[in-house]
């Protein structure tokens, strides 16, 4: 493909597909590079209960297929490949694919998402989506009235634990140290719930194994001060950080220390390089939801259109 594209979108999650839908309607004839996880993070989820209008709670794979069809129907061209390198030093941006193809575009929308960090246990992988989750806002509802654990000691872990304490009968906060990186106000709030018996802190503790019946989680085995303890529960929420998928952009645009794309330079989704925009989990450290990613994808396409118009 030697032509210079108006808009190249990288990533096929809610942010990428929504950007494509808006870019098509602005007649930008977008090309979208799907990456290795076609459809993004949602494709592994059995039930989505918070996508407006879909009260039938579709599985994530079908929801993302519908978004893909919508983008395709309006004219998006898909490339099933992965971006390995970028050069944003000139007006026309260059994007290198793993196949060796080099794409050239006037505007680029980065929508490459982020991946939650997990502990790396075999049993954790076995029970992902069957009691092991990394998103309380997404999956907490399925555990209402049940006992769950949150793993981590940062603010994100405390926010997840506070959210779950509203839904669940008891929340164990499991942390490998006795001190927390979380904001004091969050720690104080959770300590208050501890007094009420809604929360139990399990500190200086490492999870050795996620326990289950082969189908669903029914407990965790933690090791603390040389002693093993089995805790019976139904869900384990990992809150030990997220890793944005932004390696191909390092050195080209400004990133935060954790790899999140910095935005908000000249418009909400603009990056530090004119003509390059970012949307969704790759540039979001707060909300990380399908609907917020889609919303940012919409904004990025509108920002790209405005940028192109300013160059006419």
255 in contact with ligand FAD (CB under 6 A): no
Would you say 265 and 273 are in contact if contact means Cβ atoms under 8 Å apart? no
Would you say 148 and 162 are in contact if contact means Cβ atoms under 8 Å apart? no
Q: Where are the alpha helices (DSSP H) in 101-202?
A: 122-126, 136-139, 155-167, 184-195
What are the catalytic residues?
A: 135, 138-139
300 in contact with ligand FAD (CB under 6 A): no
Which residue, 245 or 252, is less far from ligand FAD as judged by CB? 245
Quick one: which of 8, 42, 240, 302 contacts ligand FAD (CB under 6 A)?
42
269 in contact with ligand FAD (CB under 6 A): no
Q: Alpha-carbon distance 229 to 204, whole Å? A: 12
140 in contact with ligand FAD (CB under 6 A): no
Quick one: which of 111, 161, 199, 298 contacts ligand FAD (CB under 6 A)?
111
260 in contact with ligand FAD (CB under 6 A): no
289 in contact with ligand FAD (CB under 6 A): yes
Would you say 44 and 60 are in contact if contact means Cβ atoms under 8 Å apart? yes
Quick one: which of 230, 291, 306, 311 contacts ligand FAD (CB under 6 A)?
291
Quick one: which of 9, 16, 143, 149 contacts ligand FAD (CB under 6 A)?
16
Could you tell me the smallest distance in angstroms from the CB atom of residue 287 to ligand FAD?
A: 8
76 in contact with ligand FAD (CB under 6 A): no
Q: How many residues does the chain have?
A: 312
Count residues binding ligand FAD (CB under 6 A). Answer: 38
Quick one: which of 6, 9, 13, 263 contacts ligand FAD (CB under 6 A)?
13
83 in contact with ligand FAD (CB under 6 A): yes
Q: What is the dihedral of CA 296, 300, 303, 307, to 10 degrees?
A: 160
- 218: three-class secondary structure by DSSP: strand
288 in contact with ligand FAD (CB under 6 A): yes
Distance of CA 64 to the CA centre of its chain: 15
Q: What is the dihedral of CA 63, 69, 73, 79, to 10 degrees?
A: 130
263 in contact with ligand FAD (CB under 6 A): no
35 in contact with ligand FAD (CB under 6 A): yes
Would you say 11 and 111 are in contact if contact means Cβ atoms under 8 Å apart? yes
Could you tell me the smallest distance in angstroms from the CB atom of residue 216 to ligand FAD?
A: 15
Residues 224-253, interacting with ligand FAD (CB under 6 A): 245, 248
| Burial tier of 117 (Cβ tally within 10 Å: 0-12, 13-18, 19+) | middle
Q: Alpha-carbon distance 150 to 141, whole Å? A: 15
Q: Alpha-carbon distance 44 to 133, whole Å? A: 11
Quick one: which of 11, 219, 244, 275 contacts ligand FAD (CB under 6 A)?
11
Residues that bind ligand FAD (CB under 6 A): 10-16, 33-38, 40-42, 44-45, 48, 50, 82-83, 111-113, 116, 134-135, 138, 245, 248, 280-281, 288-291, 293
């Amino acid at each position: 493909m030697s032509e210079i594209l108006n808009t190249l979108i990288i990533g096929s999650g809610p942010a990428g597909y929504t950007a494509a839908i808006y870019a098509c309607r602005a007649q930008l004839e977008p090309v979208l590079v799907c990456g290795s996880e076609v459809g993004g993070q949602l494709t592994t989820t059995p039930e989505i209960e918070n996508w407006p209008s879909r009260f039938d709670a579709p599985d994530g794979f079908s929801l993302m297929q519908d978004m893909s069809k919508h983008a395709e129907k309006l004219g998006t061209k898909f490339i099933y490949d992965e971006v390995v390198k970028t050069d944003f030093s000139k007006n026309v941006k260059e994007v290198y694919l793993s196949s060796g193809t080099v794409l050239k575009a006037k505007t680029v929308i980065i929508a490459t998402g982020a991946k939650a960090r997990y502990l790396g246990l075999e049993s954790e992988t076995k029970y992902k989506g069957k009691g092991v989750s990394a998103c309380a806002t997404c999956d907490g509802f399925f555990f209402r009235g049940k006992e769950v654990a949150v793993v981590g000691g940062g603010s994100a872990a405390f926010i997840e634990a506070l959210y779950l304490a509203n839904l669940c009968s008891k929340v164990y906060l499991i942390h490998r140290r006795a001190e927390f990186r979380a904001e004091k106000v969050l720690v104080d709030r959770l300590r208050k719930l501890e007094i009420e018996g809604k929360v139990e802190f399990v500190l200086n503790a490492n999870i050795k194994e996620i326990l289950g019946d082969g189908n669903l989680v029914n407990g965790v085995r933690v090791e603390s001060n040389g002693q093993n303890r089995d805790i019976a529960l139904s869900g384990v929420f990992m809150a030990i950080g997220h890793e944005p998928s932004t390696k191909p952009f390092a050195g080209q645009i400004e990133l935060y220390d954790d790899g999140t794309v910095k935005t908000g330079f000249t418009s909400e989704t603009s990056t530090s390089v004119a003509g390059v925009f970012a949307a969704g989990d790759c540039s979001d450290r707060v909300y990380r939801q399908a609907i917020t990613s889609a919303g940012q994808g919409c904004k990025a396409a509108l920002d790209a259109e405005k940028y192109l118009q300013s160059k006419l």
